[in-house]
Amino acid sequence: MGCVRPPATIAVLIALTLVAGCSRSTTLTPAGRNASASASSSPSQPSDPAARAAALVARFSDADLVGQVLMPFAYGADAGKVSAEAVAANRKYAGVDTPAAMVQKYRLGGLILMNQAAADPTASTNKTTNIVSAAQVRTLTDGLQAVATKLPGSAPMLIGTDQEYGVVNRLRDGITQLPSASAFGAAGDPALTRQAWTAAGADLRAIGINVDLAPDADVIGQGDGVIGSRSYGSDPKAVSDQVAAAVQGLRDAGVAATLKHFPGHGHTSGDSHTELPVLNQSADALATGDLPPFTAGIGAGADLVMSGHLDVRAIDPGVPASFSSKALIDLLRGRLGFKGVVVSDALNMAPAEKYAPGEAAVRALVAGNDLLLMPPDLAAAQAGLLDGLHSGQLPRQRLVEAATRVLTLRLTLGGRPQPGMAGVNGADRQAAAAKVAAAAVTVLRGGCQGALVRGPVTVTSSNGRDPQRAWLTDALRARHVTVVPSGGTEVRLVGYGDAGADLDSSAAVTVAMDLPLILGQSASPVLLATYSSTKVSMDALADVLAGAAPAPGRSPIEVPGLPRSACVA
């Protein structure tokens, strides 16, 4: 019989988790029933995805069960035709030639697509680029699904990517581009957030991506830490509202949303790609400062939660949350009531690679993950799971439970028709993104009426900002502002990765295209923040500079020495 606990605050429940040791044998499937009981019932043609998944899983072979819980990457931009270099890489990783062969051999429940982009804080674990263009991704995903739907279960597979927008953004051209999460936080309008994520999600769904590893539910503390502008801000309530709206928008578009990085990566300066960050906040601080956005996202219908490689001392000291049953089963499932799919953060990140690939896969699944993201050696991960199943180290019920959850999501997403490409990057979808960009622009120092620049303007930036300079130059000229190559009133653009050395003390206007903390070091008489460097953000900036629009945004974080807005209370 499960533990019976009186009502308590989340903080108290976290504390109880550390001492109570509640049985973990009663974890529920998405349908709300014990996994072994689900698998034993086999209705002939159940209409409910969870019941159908349970019936199918009950007949799966061991290899089919293991395949459900794997979400690796693959080399090559097409399902069946790849370069010689991609063939060699796939053989080393999985013993196959192509992505299609990988799906077939390993009976995969999911696959992640990725892009190796400069200035991406997650780039170290992205081993390949198989996202090139919208049309290419649609061809790739069609090829993958053609294989997946012929496997046992006949369900479309989960095809995911990290399309957070902002600095973590896998496809930047040819689809609707949203501003960063911090821009949404500055705009502070959940209705606009939902509309924008619906628009972006519709594009993702049309190109064949049905799982977005977003939104980021981390609440950032003072300073930018490692999450930075990927977060909606530092206020738990405001972040909760934004996360819930983003989840709803993706669901409106038929895309599964993923909350990350549970139970919260925002109060650490360590990067879990390269080390195991330690979070020292108390259980009470965790409950009030980190968990609310996850609770809100779950309430909004998030289909997945990503477990973080985080040493959360208030939950399970010394054990990464991604490998902790106290974090994933006792807290996430037992206390927060999450019934969807728990996906691990990438298993090729440093904290997970302390274990051999097969051992890491077994440990992560036993701890409560249902879907194992990016194992560093796919063949070894599969072998480890099969060996663990046969030896009893991986309880069959735990594997059945995880496979049932994953297949339930596959069947649920597969119940909606695949849209065509006609509306991708359409004007209506771009307009939804533009509304958020315009609502985000913030004046942290300077005037609030009329044009902020006079006479000829010169746009400058740190290195690598050529597109942004060109976009802003064109947008200013379209608003009848004279722009000259040099000698004009300087508008300085700074962005992700820039520091004080990238500022220009002679600039009349300095604009932060990422978190605005850098503005605290600027001597410019006018300070602005767009939080993003997209074209729509540069268009919105041009409107404010030219006096054609106000700057209604408020910084979602505190910048020492500056107000959240010089123009908005």
Give the domain extent around 195. 10-414
What pTM was computed for the model?
0.91
Of the residues 273, 316, 502, 514, only one is catalytic, namely 273
pLDDT range class, residue 11, cuts 50, 70, 90: very low
Of the residues 162, 218, 345, 543, only one is catalytic, namely 345
For residues 405 and 447, state if they share a domain: no
Residue 37 within a domain: yes
pLDDT in tens, 225-241: 688 899 999 999 999 99
For residues 401 and 448, state if they share a domain: no
Distances (CA, A) of 92 to 82, 86, 376, 558: 15, 10, 11, 47
For residues 457 and 410, state if they share a domain: no
pLDDT-above-90 percentage for the chain: 81
For residues 405 and 453, state if they share a domain: no
Pairing of strands 509-512, 489-494: parallel
Residue 507 within a domain: yes
- CA pair distance 305, 398, nearest whole angstrom: 18
* pLDDT higher than threshold 80 for residue 118: no
Tally Cβ neighbours within 10 Å of residue 183.
33
Which whole number is the average pLDDT over 492-502? Answer: 94
Residue 304 within a domain: yes
pLDDT in tens, 462-482: 888 999 999 999 999 999 999
* pLDDT higher than threshold 60 for residue 15: no
Residue 526 sits in a domain of what CATH number? 3.40.50
Residue 532 within a domain: yes
For residues 326 and 268, state if they share a domain: yes
Which whole number is the average pLDDT over 313-323? Answer: 95
pLDDT range class, residue 31, cuts 50, 70, 90: very low
For residues 465 and 327, state if they share a domain: no
Residue 110 sits in a domain of what CATH number? 3.20.20.300
- CA pair distance 194, 184, nearest whole angstrom: 10
pLDDT-above-70 percentage for the chain: 89
- CA pair distance 518, 495, nearest whole angstrom: 9
For residues 265 and 408, state if they share a domain: yes
Residue 172 within a domain: yes
For residues 246 and 363, state if they share a domain: yes
Residue 234 within a domain: yes
For residues 345 and 469, state if they share a domain: no
Residue 550 within a domain: no
- Residue 466 a catalytic site member: no
For residues 375 and 486, state if they share a domain: no
Total number of domains constituting the chain: 2
Residue 429 within a domain: no
> Strand pairing partners for 491?
459, 509
- Residue 345 a catalytic site member: yes
For residues 226 and 276, state if they share a domain: yes
Q: Coil, helix or strand for 299?
A: helix
For residues 107 and 33, state if they share a domain: yes
